[in-house]
Amino acid sequence: MNARLIRFAGLSLLLLALPAMAKEPPKKAEPIAQEGIQVPKPPFTEGIFPCTGCHDGKSMKVNTTRRALVDMHGDIELKHGPESRWCLDCHDANSRDNLHLASGEKVDFTASYKLCGQCHGDKFRDWREGIHGKRTGSWNGQKQYLLCVNCHNPHSPRFAALKPMPPPARPEAIQTRTGGAR
Amino acid sequence: MTDSKLTSLPEPSTEASGGCGLGRREFLGVGVAAVATALTGCGTLSKEEFLQHNFQELSKEEVLSVIARLEKEYKAKYGKDVKVGTTPAMPGVIFGYALDLSRCIGCRRCVHACVKENNQSRNPEVQWIRVLQLDKEEGVNLQHAEQYYNPAEVPEEGHFYMPIQCQQCKKPPCVKVCPVGATWREKDGIVVVDYNWCIGCRYCMAACPYGARHFNWGEPNLPPDQVNTDTHYLGNRPRPKGVVEKCTFCVQRTRKGLYPACVEICPTGSRKFGNLLDKTSEIRYVLENKRVFKLKEELNTQPNFFYFYGV
Amino acid sequence: MFNFRNFKQFIIDTIGLMLTGSRIYYAWVGFLLLLIVIGTGAYIGQLNDGLIVTKMRDQVSWGFYIGNFTFLVGVAAAAIMLVIPAYIYDWEPIKEITILGEMLAISALIMCLGFVMVDIGRPDRFWHIMPLVGRLNWPQSMLAWDVIVLNLYLVLNYFVVTYLLFCAYTERHYVKKIVTPLVLLSIPMAVSIHTVTAYLYNGLGARPFWNSAILAPRFLASAFCSGPAILLILLQVLQKTTKLKIKDEAIFKIAELMAYTMGFNLFLTAAESFKELYSGTEHVVYFQYLLFGLKGHNTLVPYAWASIIFGFVAFILFLVPKFRTNWKLLNLGCVLIYASVYIEKGMGLIIPGLTPDALGEIYVYTPSFTEIAVAAGIFAIGFLVFTLMLKAAVPMMLGEFTMSRGRKKATEPEVEPS
């Protein structure tokens, strides 16, 4: 549908504008273009972005050897796809503040869904339509999107288990209140 | 506040004029109200409340006075300005809901967000959403359902989860059986209850195949600091004792264009909502592209609530 | 001719008759009043706290009250069915007792309406269900139908009883042209009240246990067992305590008719059980819960089997002429069939209909003290109404008390037959 195309165009426009407002909380992001679909910033660990803060290409040489990381990022456990996959398959070795697609095309962190969409095409399509993932806002107007990485840790993408909220009271436990208001 | 109220009156019904209602009222008289007050053992039943007619039959003026009376009552009870809206159905809209069984993890965030949004009684507890834990081996077999699971973390191995709430049927058996017409299906497909007209016979509860209707067995208890003051007459306004209530797709939100509270809260994005008449809506995308089923389809209740497998 | 002054006198004398009696009479009425007081107390508690004082919950949203209601609709329907042989075959021995049947129907209906009233969450809104004044969802709702037919049936029986007694009181023969059509009308009405009550459950696709085409026939068949059983006992009591003479022939004839309906009732029960248990569809769980227990919950099991066994034994007792003409065995059979149907059409109908609930949950329902006390109060009201009616009606029916003779007698010391 045309409306979907327009919406998608709006989304792309917005994503281009995102880095500028990366520090604002997601819900306050300004509506952009006609459809105004908004994507919040990716959930970076505090103080880690931009990556070029460390990976500036000068103090540290790029090491393209596949290896277990020991000095830094030891907390990252990669549980995403084949064993052979590693950091630089997605992170761009030469431009650390970017990711890259299989084609080598660089992608902003704010457009990481393109990277995810390379393999997860069906999810990507559903996400664009608002079916995969969460949408909030207005069913007949502005909607807020979340990026894939807002719900799935890209290094370990399985949706994290949650503590359930309390179960309902059993019928036997529903009793006349003693005391209290009315 | 008053503005939205005034612009959102239900269309005046064609034949049930105020005059007719008044005639009936005079017939009943104040004396009966007094007797009824004594009967119910609650001293708060006013003459106006006792004589109030079915919401569908009220004239514009009568609706205004009913709303004013309710708002005054709620103010006295909760010490807050509770707004009671009467926003009618949007033209060209029939609400549909779809729930992704392959995504739901049974965390019950929806259950509790619903309670908060819709002013359910906290004690005795009333909840409009029931989340069933089912066996993957058994599939959707309700005889293997468990509602009281409480592990440290969900989802649990070997299980999937199925939240059930009002299915907003196109052919709602609850509406058919209500002896007094206290529950009906609105133009946007939402089945509502007039809490001031329901006699509490619970026939609708026996008729509902989804266990979606809930009764106020005792006096509802809603702590004043937890009252959601943005309410709808047919939706989440505080209810009295002895009447039936149910999910209304958050009529107070959805008729303003917002998503229902359960959709907003769901951390997995399993809940999809929209206008069934809009070909570009999310809900239509689900119906056209996913494997969809209706719960107890064989009963021909024709729910506007669908379950689907997103994967 | 009808005369207002006579009617006023009739009312006054009726009340007079009700107020005077032997010690046993006073004790019985006093006992019933005590039960009514207890029931009223419990009901006031229920009004204050809500239906939460019952054990009903969302899972099992109807219970003891509606179970008793259903059973009593059967009693009300069956009481009048004795009219069929009396009028269709013009069989005199039973004709005498049709008025008793009608009075039983009135009492049963009052109890029915009482059970509905205590079951609703907002009795202050009773007027919503009144035709014309409220907003009756007729013809869609079976409950709306039930309200109409039960009240019509009540009015009809009340009118016939009053008219017959007034005629006896004024020592005139009743006008056949008035009574016969009304009595004949009450036959289809009796069938209709029980059929409509069956349809009330029958029409719910959500509840497979009730959603069976033979539910209404089963209701009627079981009602024709339990209703006459009450009458048979009652007739013997009246024979002993009053000058009312009822031919043994009449009683045995009723017993014979009951044997057929009991057999038919057992057959229908068997047919339903076979269909559910043999086909073993997903609907079988309700029968399993009733007959064998489900997932370790077997509260109903002993009752269900007691009902079946009682029904079968009573059938044998009524079927064999040697047994049914033996008063002891006849009365035993009456008690057994009454108990059997009370279980089957009360809790045995309502509870498995709702358990497991629509979402497969099993909530084991047993009535609370409040429910039992309120129910006892309502039964006491029914018995009281029946007692008072009998107290006034029997002397009038026997011609012992009439307008002319009754006045004279009023100054004399009371002579109580018992």
CATH code for position B256: 3.30.70.20
Asked if B74 and B166 sit in the same domain, the reply is no
**ipTM attached to this prediction:** 0.93
C-alpha pair distances (Å), B283 with each of A143, B249, B255: 14, 14, 16
Asked if B190 and B208 sit in the same domain, the reply is yes
Do C391 and C15 meet the contact criterion of CB atoms below 8 Å apart? no
Cβ-Cβ contacts under 8 Å between A and C: the total is: 13
Task: Using a CB–CB cutoff of 8 Å, tell me whether A137 touches chain B.
Answer: yes
pLDDT of residue B299: 97
Which residues form the domain of B35? 2-78
Which of B106, B221, B257 is closest, CB to CB, to A180?
B221
What global pTM score does this model have? 0.88
Which of B153, B290, B310 is closest, CB to CB, to A161?
B153
Report residue C267 as tokens: 């057959």
From start to end of chain B, where are the E strands? Answer: 83-85, 95-100, 130-135, 159-164, 183-185, 191-193, 214-215, 230-232, 244-245, 271-275, 291-293, 305-309
Asked if B67 and B91 sit in the same domain, the reply is no
pLDDT of residue B17: 39
pLDDT of residue C96: 65
**Tens-place pLDDT, residues C378-396:** 999 999 999 999 999 988 8
Asked if B15 and B92 sit in the same domain, the reply is no
Asked if B200 and B255 sit in the same domain, the reply is yes
Q: What is the mean pLDDT of residues C183-195?
A: 91
Nearest chain C CA: its distance from A172 CA (Å): 8
Asked if B17 and B131 sit in the same domain, the reply is no
Asked if B86 and B53 sit in the same domain, the reply is no
Long-range contacts of B62-71, Cβ-Cβ distance < 8 Å, separation of 24 or more: B62/B18, B62/B21, B63/B9, B63/B10, B64/B5, B64/B6, B64/B9, B66/B196, B66/B233, B67/B5, B67/B233, B70/B233, B70/B237
Report residue C289 as tokens: 């819960």
pLDDT of residue B38: 56
Task: Using a CB–CB cutoff of 8 Å, tell me whether C240 touches chain B.
Answer: no
Asked if B44 and B30 sit in the same domain, the reply is yes
Report residue C133 as tokens: 């004044």
Contact: A165, B152; criterion CB under 8 Å: no
Domain boundary among B19, B52, B78: B78
pLDDT tens-place values along chain B, 311 residues long = 334 434 444 444 434 333 344 444 444 455 555 555 555 545 567 888 999 999 999 999 999 999 999 999 999 999 999 999 999 999 999 999 999 999 999 999 999 999 999 999 999 999 999 999 999 999 999 999 999 999 999 999 999 999 999 999 999 999 999 999 999 999 999 999 999 999 999 999 999 999 999 999 999 999 999 999 999 999 999 999 999 999 999 999 999 999 999 999 999 999 999 999 999 999 999 999 999 999 999 999 999 999 999 88
| Number of domains present in the structure of chain B | 2
Which residues form the domain of A146? 38-43+108-153
**Tens-place pLDDT, residues C294-334:** 999 999 999 999 999 999 999 999 999 999 999 999 999 99
Tell whether A126 is covered by a domain.
yes
Asked if B13 and B106 sit in the same domain, the reply is no
The residue of chain A nearest to residue B98, with distances taken between CA atoms, is A131
pLDDT > 50? residue C233:
yes
Contact: C359, B132; criterion CB under 8 Å: yes
Tell whether A125 is covered by a domain.
yes
Tell me which of A51-65, B235-249, C69-83, C158-172 is least confident: A51-65
Domain boundary among B40, B62, B78: B78
**Chain C partners (3+ C-beta pairs within 8 A):** A, B
**Chain B partners (3+ C-beta pairs within 8 A):** A, C
| Number of domains present in the structure of chain A | 1
pLDDT of residue B84: 97
Cβ-Cβ contacts under 8 Å between B and C: the total is: 171
Contact: B268, A159; criterion CB under 8 Å: yes
Domain boundary among B61, B78, B95: B78
Asked if B88 and B135 sit in the same domain, the reply is yes
Asked if B38 and B171 sit in the same domain, the reply is no
Asked if B174 and B306 sit in the same domain, the reply is yes
